[in-house]
Chain A
Amino acid sequence: MEEKRTLQLRIVVLAVAAAFLAIGLLRGEFSDVLAKAMRICLECIGIG
């Protein structure tokens, strides 16, 4: 019973994760992340 619930939970999480990934990529979030990561983040290094 426990095994079955764990499997169901895994399938749900996998489906949600795949959906999130697809939605994020379709919304152009890869470009957002790339644009941010290509510049020095002054806050992250303790300056800005």
Chain B
Amino acid sequence: MADRKFTPAEAAQRKHDRKRLWIQAGFAALFNGYAAGFAKGKIFTGPAKGVCVPVLNCYSCPGALGACPIGSLQAVAGGKGRSVSFYILGVLMLFGLVFGRLLCGFACPFGWIQDLLSRIPVRRKKVPERIDRPARKLKYVALAAVLVLPAAVSAIKGSAASPYFCKYLCPAGTLEGGIPLLLANANLRAMAGALFTWKALVLAACLAGALFIPRCFCRYLCPLGAFYSLFNRFALYRLTLDRSSCIGCGKCEEVCPMAVRVTQELECSGECIRCGKCKAVCPAGAIENKKIF
């Protein structure tokens, strides 16, 4: 059977996708570089673990070298004596200011997993805008819950509160932390019960969702994506559309995994993860990186 011939735009997009997947794999390895942890069923406990990584990466992953910002925000707020973590918020604001959601597109390990799933050839249907647009607001509810709920419950109860997002919703914790630890550690395996079953179902739903709706979790549920989206409009690194060069072919909107209306809202969208697919596929070269400096 003859190989399928790709148009120049398709070939450029495939080349860009491959390059980006390798960069994502590199970041996943960097953030989870403690390989011995996977074999021992234990987590890394060095001082680097106090350093907040700028992506959703569970600190109970056996390989994790740093702290997950969402877990840390809840752990500090839900502990005694503090209602908010200025340290984590400061780190996230700095990263948001410089990169916006570029980190979602290039550095997040769970985003990488979703991108790998979206390469599996299945029939995908576009989510109707009347459902898609309101559903995207769910992630802001998740962010509000992360910022407010542990602190509020802790204040009411007078004792430490759970990290509720991690406990009931975070699929990254189950995939990166729960499954590897349970596979390697019999004591933990014996403790798994109904909560683990629930979290495994949430993970399965997110992975199945990502198969049919690219970046499903990032679009609708990720509180960190919601946080960074607040900075997207004025972040130093941005993509811009030169409207005078745009030929209106719509290829950019066809390939966008976040279903951004590129020709209308690229610069002001909180959803753009700067993955660069639109830039790679644009036959007119109308989309450019806005340089940081």
Contacts and interface: CB of A to CB of B under 8 A. Distances in A.
Contacts of A20: 86-87, 89-90, 93
B90 A37 contact: no
Contact of A29 (B43, B60, B87, B193): B87
B79 A32 contact: yes
B166 A41 contact: yes
A37 B72 contact: yes
Interface residues of A, number: 34
Contacts of B196: 45-47
B231 to A, nearest CB: 7
Contact of A46 (B59, B89, B200): B200
A33 B188 contact: no
B204 interface: no
Contacts, number: 153
A36 B50 CA distance: 8
B184 to A, nearest CB: 12
A32 B82 contact: yes
Contacts of A19: 90
Contacts of B167: 43-44, 46, 48
Given A20-B86, A21-B91, A46 B75 contact: no
A47 B87 contact: no
The secondary structure that dominates the B interface is helix
A20 B174 CA distance: 30
Nearest to B179: A45
Given A20-B87, A29-B87, A45 B173 contact: yes
Interface string B46-79: 0101101000001110001011100110011001
A36 B167 CA distance: 15
B47 A32 contact: no
A24 B178 contact: no
A43 B181 contact: no
B1 interface: no
A47 B188 contact: yes
Given A29-B86, A29-B87, A46-B174, A37 B200 contact: no
Contacts of B96: 13
Interface string A16-29: 11111111110101
A46 to B, nearest CB: 4
B2 interface: no
| Most chain B beta-carbon contacts within 10 A, residue among A27, A33, A44 | A44
B72 A36 contact: yes
B72 A33 contact: yes
Given A33-B87, A37-B67, A46-B192, 10 more contacts: A10-B236, A13-B234, A29-B76, A33-B88, A36-B59, A40-B60, A41-B59, A41-B166, A45-B182, A47-B188
The 5 closest A-B pairs by CB, nearest first: A24-B87, A21-B90, A34-B50, A20-B90, A24-B86
Interface of A: 6, 9-10, 13-14, 16-25, 27, 29-34, 36-38, 40-48
16 contacts: A9-B234, A16-B93, A17-B94, A20-B87, A21-B91, A21-B94, A23-B90, A24-B85, A37-B68, A38-B43, A41-B71, A42-B191, A44-B163, A45-B58, A45-B60, A45-B174
